[in-house]
Chains A and B, each alone.
Chain A
Amino acid sequence: MLVVEQLCKSFNTAQGTLPVLQGVDLTLARGSSLALMGESGSGKSTLLHLVAGLDRADSGRILIDDEPLDGRSEAALARWRREGIGLVFQQYNLISSLNVASNLAFQARLAGRHTPRWVDYLAERLGLAALLQRYPEQLSGGQQQRVAIGRALAARPALVLADEPTGSLDEASSDEVLALLLELVGEAGSSVLMVTHSPRLAARLARRCFLHAGRVQTEGV
């Protein structure tokens, strides 16, 4: 469902142009999962942002179900983020002024696909059922990340993009949260593209690929 072809992206910095992606090729089939690995600054997050339509590539193509993403307007990209994907960040990025229940249902309502039973189920599975009336600042880090995962999956997006989803958590809760994420993604029928630097976590995904110097170096199996 996701095909990335010869994707290039560079940033302008005070020291001159810094090339980050220099011709990345990638595919991800429906229902599959892929871990994107590499050292800091290898362009993992940039690639994720490009796929999310948060930024635009300099050249190359991103195809979603054979439709190119690059040519789309700002409004169309917003629609893609709203309806096509679910984003999970390292910093959770919850809406601090809304309670857990509202945060969970937020994107599903935005996408116009709010099914209360599914959201209730997610809350149940994520262990948030008792915390629905709380505000994000009243939750622990692990709990906040569960809310973020629930928010990303509430609209059953075709693609879940996760950027170091467990980066702020300790090892035990990392494993637990990731397991939950993958399980629920499977139930939702979504594909997953996850950025991580942890081989231990990457190992739990269907496929892995390593970015080095702006290119896909090897693709593990």
Chain B
Amino acid sequence: MSPLTITLQALLSHWWRHRLQFFSILVGLWLATALWTGVQALNDQARTDYARASAVLAGPTQAQLVPQGTDRFEQALYVKLRQLGWPVSPLLEGRLRLAGEHALNIRLIGIEPLSVPPATAIAGTPAQGFDLDAFIGSPGQAWVSPDTLQQLGLKGTDRVTTEDGQALPPFVLKPELAPGVIVVDIGHAQALLQAPGQLTRLMLMGDAATLPADIADRLRLQSPSDDGDLQRLTDSFHLNLTALGLLAFVVGLFIAHAAIGLALEQRRGLIRTLRACGISVRTLVLGLALELGVFAVLGGLAGVVSGYLLAGLMLPNFAASLRGLYGAQVAGHLSLPLEWWLAGVGVSVFGALAAGTSSVLRAARLPLLALAQPQAWLLAQGPWVRRQAGAAVVLMLVAFVCWRFGNSLTSAFILLAALLLAAALLLPALLDAALGGLERICRRPLAQWFIADSRQQLPALSLALMALLLALAASVGVGSMTEGFRKTFNGWLDQRLSASLYVTPQDTEQALQISDWLRQQPSVTAVLPSWRLEVRLQAWPVQVQGIIDHQDYREHWPLLEQSAKAWERLASGDALMLSEQLARRLELGLGDRLEFPANPVQPMTVVGIYADYGNPKGHLLVNADWLRGNLPEASLTNLSLSLPPDRVAPLKTQLQQRFALDDSRVIEQANLKAWSTEVFSRTFAATAALNSLTLGIAGVALFISLLTLSQSRLGQLAPLWALGVRRSRLVWLSLGQTLMLSSLTVLLAIPLGLLLAWSLVAVVNVQAFGWRLPLYMFPGQLLQLAVLGLLTSLLASVWPLWQLARRQPAELLRQFANEA
């Protein structure tokens, strides 16, 4: 047997005798990998699905022609362009309502396979195997991805009818197709969407020439840069999630690091004996590294499996909030390709290296002859604590710089990371100082021992306490932010949603008819029409809303900032109001002028800024008449109606019958509010779940640290026992020590958490979403978390202390016998 094998055998034999330590390291790496891969699995699934969505037709699509001011246009324009030699391919898109118990709503895309250019893959399907006759013929084919069918609760062999009784072509499964989408031939799409001869856009291959004048009136060129919005809009959402995942990863590594460090500490004697018996440093380090590798692989595999399960559990909420916030479709199930396993194990190996390298190096540098006294090591921690505090000061400087001068989401996250890390590094020094202060106050011998001994435990426990601090602070911070947001958002929604009924007509023409009809209804006290247009300001998609001058806005459209006579100036047509996020993006304030991209360009004064929570796009308000006059392509998309509550239901029925509007087009205020609130609570549900997991991990870290410590604690407790302190008393004293340390940590965690909450609402939110929230404090919540933190440490100490209490006096005695 080679020295390496024997070394490994000796090293690994340690774990057999210290199984809990073994599991601690494994659990640390496992949890770190699990949370990280879980979050990444969610993010990746979403990104893949965005890619699938934008790749319904992937190929050399350069640009698109879209209608001006309407949703659709007649296909004669397509034929005309083709006869002028334009390489365009028509598309018809729309929402399709499927018949069934639950009205299912799905996006239907009609494509024309003959006119797409040769290099185009349709729905990720290579041109091979494309059965043209079957696709465009009768009954045709409806392409759908298996996850969409699953979401709809359908089978591939089902024949489905629309709400108005038309049969969908038979399904053909296309796994590459975007979720929530059905692709059919354009002819079938026109029939299903009841849009004969209508198209929604033209894909343009190759370079665009100038459109003929008569077509330029109807269609406009949309450059390809307009694509990928979904990716951009959702970026901050995913970044938030990634940051949480990273936090969990770091906390997991704390566990592994603590356990590996303690294992090394316990094996100092072993390592020295091995060296004395003639094992070289190289062999030893190799053995330790291999051991670490085994941990990494085991932890990584377990982590990927549980990360996958975790992601699966969180996916429904996750998908729902993405759908609600951004209209993004994410599949209801995860895929787990081979790369995932590799990446998971890779992350675990990285984590193990991060957590264990310092220990391995310390083992390599261990002087052969130094006395293997733990006290010596603990004493050497003194300068270490000071060095950590120094690093913390540097990190706080970094945080300060990020806060003052940072202008991106990344810098906001660096601020958070620096803040948290600084606090964690500072913790041992702060606790040590606090204990030092207490030590001076205490006079009674046992109390003095109590404090002094706690101080001695500090280095061994500090990593676990750091984990607790981080997890608690994150809980406080995220909790304050979500609660604060809920409060702000609900107040804002109450104010903003003042109308009783919201109508979304099919087009401008119908909207005008409905508007005229409503004016003749005595029960309706106000009809507020909204004209809308999508434009781009500095490449950012912006919704322009044209409103009439009405008292309701003054009362129910809360403004964060406003100039004098803001509403009057808006009505006059030379001023506009911006949403908070748009104002930040364009760096505009009250009184600034914005060059509005009408024809000709109109300079407008900013007279108001309002909150527009949850809108990933920019939003601005102008006067409706001005909008119609300057941008005739604006369409009348919404009517808000005020009427007495008892008249709402009858009017809704009347409207639906008279104008053939379904439930999605006539919405009561309460439903709209419920829907909005639900979207947000789902969004924060994922955050909250990750957060409580992180707290759980910190608990595990503390538990493991205490457990490993209880072994070496015997040496400290035995003299007291010998001096006549009862064992049960010793146990209570130990428990008291743990609770004292964790209470101090909890006390520090609360201000840190509030600082974190402030960073989240005032820095991260502004960078991520463009809105700033007021910082609220929720004492009840803080108390709850503090108790939770203490409970966690109590639970963590119970088992190790029980072990301690079970010790036989002989074992304590042996401590003396073995003390040399």
Contact = CB atoms under 8 A, between A and B. Distances in A.
Q: A–B direct touch, CB within 8 Å, in complex?
A: yes
Interface of A: 49, 52, 54-55, 74-75, 78-83, 87, 89-91, 93-98, 102, 106-107, 109-112, 135, 137, 141, 151, 168
B338 interface: no
A98 B13 contact: yes
B1 A109 contact: yes
Interface in B222-246: none
B369 A107 contact: no
B632 interface: no
B273 A94 contact: yes
Contact of B280 (A74, A98, A151): A74
B365 to A, nearest CB: 13
A219 to B, nearest CB: 26
Given A54-B368, A97-B14, A141-B817, A110 B270 contact: no
A95 B273 contact: yes
B416 to A, nearest CB: 42
B280 A55 contact: no
B273 A81 contact: no
A52 B14 CA distance: 26
A151 B6 CA distance: 14
B660 interface: no
A110 B3 contact: yes
Given A54-B369, A110-B3, A168-B820, A95 B10 contact: yes
B281 interface: yes
A89 B270 CA distance: 14
B22 to A, nearest CB: 12
B278 A95 contact: no
7 cross-chain pairs, A with B, having the tightest CB-CB distances, nearest first:
A82-B278, A81-B278, A78-B280, A97-B13, A97-B17, A97-B14, A93-B273
Contacts of B369: 49, 54-55
Interface in B256-292: 269-270, 272-283
A82 B273 contact: no
B284 to A, nearest CB: 9
B526 to A, nearest CB: 82
B6 A109 contact: yes
A11 B517 CA distance: 103
B16 interface: yes
Interface centre among A49, A82, A83, A111 (most CB of B within 10 A): A82
A198 B274 CA distance: 29
Contacts of B281: 74, 78
Given A109-B6, A110-B277, 10 more contacts: A54-B276, A55-B368, A55-B369, A78-B279, A96-B17, A96-B269, A97-B270, A106-B277, A110-B3, A137-B814
Nearest to A105: B6
Interface of B: 1, 3, 6, 10, 13-14, 16-18, 269-270, 272-283, 368-369, 814, 817-818, 820
B508 to A, nearest CB: 82
Given A55-B369, A97-B16, A97-B17, A78 B270 contact: no
Contact of B278 (A78, A93, A97, A141): A78
A102 B1 CA distance: 14
Contacts of A96: 17, 269-270
29 contacts: A54-B276, A54-B368, A55-B368, A79-B278, A81-B276, A82-B279, A83-B278, A87-B276, A93-B272, A94-B273, A95-B10, A95-B270, A96-B17, A96-B269, A97-B13, A97-B16, A97-B18, A106-B10, A107-B278, A109-B1, A110-B3, A110-B6, A110-B277, A110-B279, A135-B17, A137-B814, A137-B818, A141-B817, A151-B277
Contacts of A83: 278
Contacts of B269: 93, 96
Contacts of B273: 93-95
A44 B79 CA distance: 105
A75 B283 CA distance: 9
Contact of B10 (A98, A135, A168): A98
B169 to A, nearest CB: 70
Contacts of B282: 75
Interface of B is mostly: helix
B346 to A, nearest CB: 31
Nearest to A89: B276
B132 to A, nearest CB: 72
Contacts of B10: 95, 97-98, 106
Contacts of B6: 106, 109-110
A87 B280 CA distance: 16
Nearest to A152: B277
B13 A110 contact: no
A111 B274 CA distance: 12
Nearest to B18: A97
A83 B278 CA distance: 8
Nearest to B7: A110
Interface centre among B277, B282, B369 (most CB of A within 10 A): B277
A10 B358 CA distance: 30
B276 A75 contact: no
Contacts of A112: 1
Contacts of A79: 278, 280
B434 to A, nearest CB: 31
Nearest to B266: A96
Nearest to B5: A109
Given A91-B820, A95-B13, A97-B13, A107 B277 contact: yes
Contacts of A94: 273
B272 A111 contact: no
Nearest to A79: B278
Contacts of B814: 137
Contacts of A111: 278
B663 to A, nearest CB: 70
Contacts of A91: 820
Contacts of B279: 78, 82, 110
A123 to B, nearest CB: 18
A31 B283 CA distance: 32
Nearest to B15: A97
Contacts of B817: 141
A52 B273 CA distance: 13
Interface centre among B18, B276, B282, B283 (most CB of A within 10 A): B276
Given A95-B13, A96-B270, A97-B17, A75 B3 contact: no
A135 B278 CA distance: 22
Contacts of A102: 13
A93 B270 CA distance: 8
A135 B16 CA distance: 12
Contact of A93 (B1, B14, B276): B276
Contacts of A141: 817
Contacts of B283: 78
Contacts of A87: 276-277
A57 B627 CA distance: 93
A138 B280 CA distance: 30
A75 B272 CA distance: 16
A7 to B, nearest CB: 17
A72 to B, nearest CB: 12
B277 A75 contact: no
B276 A52 contact: yes
